[in-house]
């Protein structure tokens, strides 16, 4: 049985609690929380509970900005201490302790279930035994576990911002355009699903379609004229330029 204590009570923490509880090999011995995880003077409950001898490791699942401050509370522990961030390096954790990373690469939203078996788990540790332990923990909840360095994970997170965060913002812009013109956004959902599904069989480079790839200047100018939001107009221009450069079209 792998015994873990989770630090933090946010969305990632709640998903991990739920997934670990559903396994036969992981036990959550404690969920440590504070009123404000970015302030050391509000970590009294965390400080009082951190000597939980039952846990094999502490999983710090707090905001990126809070990881360094919160992890200071574990500078004297003999247990493995890991964080769950995609963009924060392992070395922000205190030196001289067993430290690592347990990063589930997925977008998590409150009250929305996620198929954790399909979530890639990226792990990192400074010694072989801890790496084996993290791989066992990952395999308990997911079918795919990768050993990924801090530098690789930082690049993965940057890629994730483009394919997830920026893409979702494009959905929001598209939703707004539909709403402003009294068109149901649902009409676009099959297109969104097919665009995503194509990546299973085609490289993104080969899956690209649209006026920018075709070099259809008339459509591009017409659509720029339709946009009333100045920022959205600039986003359209920048993305069009990037697509044109990718496919060798003249600017």
DSSP assignments along 152-175, one per residue: HHHHHHHHHIIIIIIHHHHHHHHH
Q: Are residues 136 and 71 part of one domain?
A: yes
**First-to-last C-alpha distance (Å) of the chain:** 60
Q: What are phi and psi of 180, to 5 degrees?
A: -65, -25
CB 104 within 8 A of CB 84: yes
Q: Torsion over CA of 215, 219, 225 and 231, rounded to 10 degrees?
A: -50
Residues 171 and 143 in one domain: no
CA-to-CA distance for 156 and 106, rounded, in angstroms?
11
pLDDT at site 52: 62
Does residue 94 share a domain with residue 164? Answer: no
Residues 11 and 78 grouped into a single domain: yes
Q: Could you say which of 148, 175, 192 is where a domain stops?
A: 148
Task: Establish if 171 belongs to a structural domain.
Answer: yes
pLDDT recorded at residue 40: 43
**pLDDT at residue 74 in the model:** 92
The CATH number of residue 53's host domain is 3.40.50.720
Determine the structural domain holding residue 37 and report its residue range: 2-148
Neighbours of 240 (CB within 10 A): 20
Percentage with pLDDT > 70 across the chain = 91
The reply to whether 251 falls in a domain is no
What integer is the mean pLDDT of 116-125?
96
Question: What tens digit of pLDDT does each residue of 3-42 get?
Answer: 999 999 999 999 999 999 999 999 999 998 754 444 444 4
Residue 139 sits in the same domain as residue 159 = no
Same domain, 119 and 228: no
- Per residue in 147-182, pLDDT (tens digit) is 999 999 999 999 999 999 999 999 999 999 999 999
**Are residues 103 and 201 located together in one domain of the fold?**
no
- Structurally, the chain folds into a number of domains equal to 2
Boundary (domain end) residue, out of 148, 163, 186: 148
């Amino acid at each position: 049985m792998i015994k873990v204590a989770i630090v933090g009570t946010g969305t990632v923490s709640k998903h991990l609690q739920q997934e670990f509880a559903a396994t036969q090999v992981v036990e959550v011995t404690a969920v440590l929380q504070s009123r404000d995880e970015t302030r050391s003077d509000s970590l009294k409950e965390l400080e009082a509970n951190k000597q939980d001898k039952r846990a094999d490791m502490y999983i710090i699942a707090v905001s990126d900005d809070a990881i360094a401050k919160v992890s200071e509370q574990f500078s004297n522990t003999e247990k493995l201490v890991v964080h769950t961030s995609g963009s924060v390096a392992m070395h922000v954790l205190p030196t001289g302790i067993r430290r690592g990373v347990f990063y589930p690469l997925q977008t998590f939203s409150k009250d929305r279930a996620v198929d954790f078996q399909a979530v890639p788990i990226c792990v990192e540790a400074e010694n072989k035994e801890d790496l084996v332990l993290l791989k066992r923990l990952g395999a308990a909840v997911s079918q795919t576990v990768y050993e990924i360095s801090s530098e690789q994970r930082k690049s993965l997170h940057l890629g994730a911002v483009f394919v997830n965060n920026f893409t979702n913002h494009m959905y929001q812009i598209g939703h707004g355009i539909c709403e402003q013109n009294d068109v149901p956004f649902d009409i676009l959902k099959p297109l969104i699903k097919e665009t995503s599904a194509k990546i299973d069989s085609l490289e993104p480079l080969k899956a690209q379609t649209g006026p920018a790839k075709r070099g259809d200047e008339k459509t591009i100018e017409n659509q720029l004229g339709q946009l009333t939001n100045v920022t959205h107009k600039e986003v359209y221009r920048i993305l069009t330029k990037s697509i044109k450069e990718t496919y060798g079209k003249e600017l």
